[in-house]
Structure 1
């Protein structure tokens, strides 16, 4: 057990699997008390058990990030139990692919509700708790390379992740203006082996921010489209999250941490 975030309380949404779970595990390894939230209760319980088995401190809450009442309840629970919140990782997200002319409005709105409304609500209700200690804190919003570049078959997803990027910068300036010590940054994963790719299988062309129909596997796609020639793992993103959560990044706010094997610069 390390100590880079020892004694800090961290809230991670979408923490039951993928990047969220890996981030929770990494923060717990370095001494944080992690609060995982998700809709996948069984997987959330598994994640908590795995962290505790390694000597970490973790708890789980059922939480729909699109519902403001859920955010209020989670923030109140953290305040009552821990008296502080030092790290917020707004990780919960979803991706839908396809032509903009075929996407149902309800699907576009659902994607925005999870990907951007959830981030807004997270900041709105977590920031007051974070400010209680007077020690500052770190808000980490999960965007994507799709928030930096366009994709022919991910217009809605790109719109939502681009919104996260600029929302992050605006909140960073707001926190800096009141000198609350809270840093706010966005993380931009590239092609990472996570369940989100299951929703965008079989669409796009090489170079798009989605798995293409040819080649048919994620490994083949990354060999084709990513300069480093390989896909990333959730642990690659978790290491970036840890750095932004720790005092090692004390002078970093409003920044974009791109972890994509060079995908976005090709």
Structure 2
């Protein structure tokens, strides 16, 4: 179990104010990491950092928009200054806009790609620059990008979202290859979460009903459970534990993978 000990590590978690991001931030802290919670939701982000501190962990908050280059630099600088280093990035921030292919809107597509793809790539850019030898932190580290089971299945009404998460998967593998070949000492992986009943997950259930695909949110959720071999929705802890694993020494020889945490739905 000592391989899962993150004592002395310093993590930046985007979209860390609530939902999966908050659960990941708390799990990293429980494993011993100091955590910088980053989000546009300032009050909720500060609350999450406070929950971590009240449990005996070390945490701070930085307000950031992952689509903005200057915000990334400021968040990385704050992580190094306040936590004493930077060796874990969790690229979790993301949005989902549900629409049938016949109803997609250019502005919504651009917004999803901006947050989910551009934001993830900017995060890897600034993390790799800081973590590599000669960087502001310079001790190597681990990056975990949050993709989705949507990258591996064909579920109706999420074509745009699926495209963004497929892009996250491909970008992860390219970044892992570059980091390895250039001797950065940084492992880069991603996870594919299944549906979790967070606010975002339940919004999807309602949206597919509005699109005429299911008679009720309960029917939509039931269909997803029915396609999941383990027979249930995911839990925040399922996703958070997988992230801790990929950040820990237990995964020290793993890079460039997409880890399904979906109960078998995407197999």
- Length-normalised TM-score, structure 1: 0.92
1:261 aligns with 2:259: no
1:78-125 per-position Cα deviation (integer Å, ceiling 9, x unaligned): 233344211000000111111122121000000111101100111111
Aligned match of 2:198: 194
Runs of 4+ in 1 over 4 A off after TM superposition: none
SS in 2 for 1:202: helix
Q: Which residues of 2 match residues 1-266 of structure 1 at below 5 A? A: 4-131=5-132, 132=135, 133-204=137-208, 213-214=214-215, 216-217=217-218, 220-265=222-267
1:152-188 per-position Cα deviation (integer Å, ceiling 9, x unaligned): 3111001100000000000000000012210000100
Change (3 A) 1:142 1:108: same
Distance 2:33 2:123 in 1: 19
Distance 2:81 2:46 in 1: 21
Distance 1:198 1:105 in 2: 24
Distance 1:85 1:236 in 2: 25
Distance 2:257 2:154 in 1: 20
**Offset of residue 195 of structure 1:** 1.7
Distance 2:20 2:263 in 1: 16
Distance 1:172 1:25 in 2: 26
Provide the aligned C-alpha RMSD in A.
2.0
- Length-normalised TM-score, structure 2: 0.91
Report if the CA contact (8 A) 1:215-1:221 is conserved: no
Distance 2:121 2:173 in 1: 13
Distance 2:190 2:212 in 1: 23
SS in 2 for 1:232: coil
Distance 1:223 1:149 in 2: 14
Change (3 A) 1:263 1:35: same
Change (3 A) 1:82 1:58: closer
User: How many correspondences in the alignment?
Assistant: 260
Distance 1:90 1:8 in 2: 16
Change (3 A) 1:211 1:221: farther
Change (3 A) 1:181 1:244: same
